[in-house]
Amino acid sequence: MHLVSYSQAEEGSFVARSSSAAREPLDPALVRLVLILAVGAIAPALDSTIVNVALPTLVRAFGASVAQLQWAITGYLLALGMAMPVTAWAADRYGAKRLWLIALALFLLGSVLAGTSWSVASLIAFRVLQGIGAGLLQPLLQTLVVRAAGPGRLGRAITVVTYVIVVAPILGPVVGGLIVDHASWRWIFYVNVPICLAALVLAARGLDETAQRRGGPLDVLGLGLLSPALAAILYGLASAGAKGGFGGADTVVPLAVGLLLLAAFGAHELGQRKPALDLRLFRERSFAVSSALLFLGGLSIYGGLLLLTLYYQTLRGDSPLLAGLLLAPQGVGSLLTRWTGGLADRIGARPIVLLGLLLAALGTLPFALAGQGTGEVGLSVALLVRGAGLSAATIGIMTAAYHGLRPDQVGHASGATRIVAQVGGSFGAAVLAMVLSRQAALHQALGAAGRAAAFRDAFGWSIAFTLLAFASAFLLPGHEAARRTA
């Protein structure tokens, strides 16, 4: 099996095959490639939600405060954000297969060491190592899939990638709950070991190295501006989410510094022939709109998932395991829309995104009307619809993001989309946590009824953001325009 790599000279044939490839079945070699890469992406996708569920257990195990242990999550997030921008350059310089194996090995090593942690400081350091590996894996996964699939088969190939993105965070609470209830906290990290080992063996035996290695110079100044900018922004958003507001100095200062560094990065990059991240991608309408939708999607996927987890655990009083099981219908729903990838290849991404976002809003609506004692059956059906909608929308958005791009732009596009999605997810969690906190304070005198009202208001905001994304999705190019630029 070969990882397909397209050069500038092949651009014409790359485009010409687009319309006919949309009607052809997927090459077994491509299916095998996507499955191998998906195995490698499972552990990082599960890891964050498992650790979130287990945070109270870690607090007890280390005898530390929640604020101290929160750095195990924040440090991972910062390392992930700082590693993402270097992926495109490193893949071209050292080869995609080699980088994939290195990233998996880093994540594996970080997981093993985190499981042996003897103090909060050691845990934070090893989580940073995990974050570096995850930050390399996520954009590299998209780059390899997009280059191998080509535009005509992109929707079907990207479906597997979105399963990992959408389903893994939903299954994470179930796995985390099982570990917390029945095993040592160290298995929160050791659970990654067999997955990573299997992924390493599959990748070493099943992936061929890409032939194209441009190996251009590293834009040191660009990365020196972008990586700290992302770290500062993500830290500020994490602080805002933890404290339920954007007013504190530990939120405002890092956000301001991050935005200033980001502005300096933009000014620097536009004059570079070999940029760290090609900002000219945003001149493509489909990519620009898809990036905006990925950011807004963070409010629906990650922010909404935070609300759902808190709804079951804090308002209804369910255990982490039971809460995870009650969220499982959302994962099942995401599996029901696997056919939308092929449909996006044939009719374009816009109708798929619109349908998906509409279903996501409808699936969230019952929670905006629910209370402490609302029946579980009706909410499970709503989660099924919500999961189906989020999965379809994510498949469509990711497919649309690559329309009109040259093969040599794919690596930069993968890095940019993962960065936007990561920042959007952090922003979504921070905003909805702030809304929930303020509404809870406003309704505090009403007791349990007030807490239920706070959740209804927060879910209402989540629906509003989803509808904003729905309106924005009309700006995606139609099918004929996408085919002309694909």
Which two structure tokens, joined as six digits, stand for 66?
Answer: 């929640």
Q: Is the pTM of this model over 0.85?
A: no
Positions in the chain whose pLDDT score sits under 70: 1-27, 66, 150-152, 160-167, 169-170, 210-216, 244, 302, 445-446, 478-486
pLDDT of residue 24: 58
pLDDT of residue 195: 92
pLDDT of residue 229: 87
H or E element that contains 268: helix 249-269
Q: Rounded CA gap, 129 and 135, in Å?
A: 10
Scan for tokens 């794919």, then name that residue: 410
pLDDT of residue 6: 37
pLDDT of residue 479: 60
DSSP letters along 178-226, please?
HHHHHS-TTHHHHTHHHHHHHHHHHHHHHPPPPS----PPP-HHHHHHH
Q: Rounded CA gap, 180 and 440, in Å?
A: 28
Return left, alpha or beta for 108; rule: phi > 0 is left, psi -120 to 50 is alpha, else beta: alpha
Q: Rounded CA gap, 319 and 455, in Å?
A: 18
SS percent in the chain: helix, strand, coil, step 5:
85, 0, 15
Q: Fill in the amino acid letter for 275.
A: P
pLDDT of residue 358: 93
DSSP letters along 406-458, please?
-GGGHHHHHHHHHHHHHHHHHHHHHHHHHHHHHHHHHTGGGTHHHHHHHHHHH
pLDDT of residue 178: 82
Q: What angle do CA 360, 237, 112 make, to 5 degrees?
A: 90
pLDDT of residue 3: 43
Q: Rounded CA gap, 224 and 263, in Å?
A: 13
Q: What angle do CA 453, 371, 373 make, to 5 degrees?
A: 150
Packing angle, helices 154-182 and 340-347, rounded to 10? 160
Q: What residues have CB less than 8 Å from 249, skipping those under 6 apart?
A: none
Q: In whole angstroms, how far apart are CA 104 and each of 130, 161, 165, 195, 200? A: 9, 17, 17, 10, 7
